[in-house]
Structure 1
Amino acid sequence: MATLTSAQARRIAVAAQGFHEPKPRGAVTRAHLRRLISRIQVLQLDSVSVAVRAHYAPVFSRLGPYDRETLDRAAWSHSARSPRLLVEYWAHEAALMAVEDWPLLRWR
C-alpha cells in the first residue's frame, strides 16, 4: 500500500479544490466561472455575511478579484445570448450548481 506524507496529502487536497491554479490575467469571465464550478461542483448560499455573502468568497479565493455581477448574472439572469450558467438548488445545502448537473438531482 502506498503512503503519503502529510505534506503530500495537503498538496493533493489543495490542488483538488483548485487553489493551485494561477489566477486569471485580466477580468474574470463566465468561462472562468464555468471551469471553477466544474471543479468544486457547488457554491454554498448563506445569507449571513460578515464580509461578503458566502457564495462570493470561494470564487475570490480561487480566481482573485472579480466583478460579483459576473457571478450574479451567471446565476440569476438568462437570455438567448447569455444562457444561465448556474441554478439554485438544495444540493447538500442551499447552493448554486451548474445547470447541466441539475437533471442528475431530479426526484426519482
Structure 2
Amino acid sequence: MASAATLIRDGRVRARAVTSSTRSPIFPDVPAVAEAAVKGYSAEVWYGVFSPKGTPPDVVTALHRAIVQALASGAFRDRLAREGVVGVIGSPQDLRAVAEQEAGRWKQVVKDKEIRIE
C-alpha cells in the first residue's frame, strides 16, 4: 500500500483490491482480495528488526524500547497513516512467531506449487 497510495490518490492508478486480510483504512471502498475474489487470501507486508542469535537479552530489550519510542512519535505515525500502513508493535517474541509463521506458510506454497530455482 505504501508504494501505491500516492498513485491511487492522484488517480494515476485504480485500486482493484488490497492484499491484506481486511480493507485499508485509507481506501475503505477498495475491497480485500479475500472478499472480492479468493476467500481466505492474505499477503501482507510486514517489517521487523532482528538481531544476531545470542544477542544478550538486555540489549534486545533496550533495542525494543528504542524502536517502540521511535514508532510512537506523532510524525512517524502520521506518515504511516498517509501511506496506508497499519503499524502494529509487538514484543520480540511476537516477531519471532510472525517470522516463523510466514516462513512456514511460504515454504508450503513453494512445496505445493513445486517452485524451483534454476
TM more than 0.5:
no
TM-score, normalised on structure 1? 0.30
TM-score, normalised on structure 2? 0.28
Greater fraction of residues in helix? 2
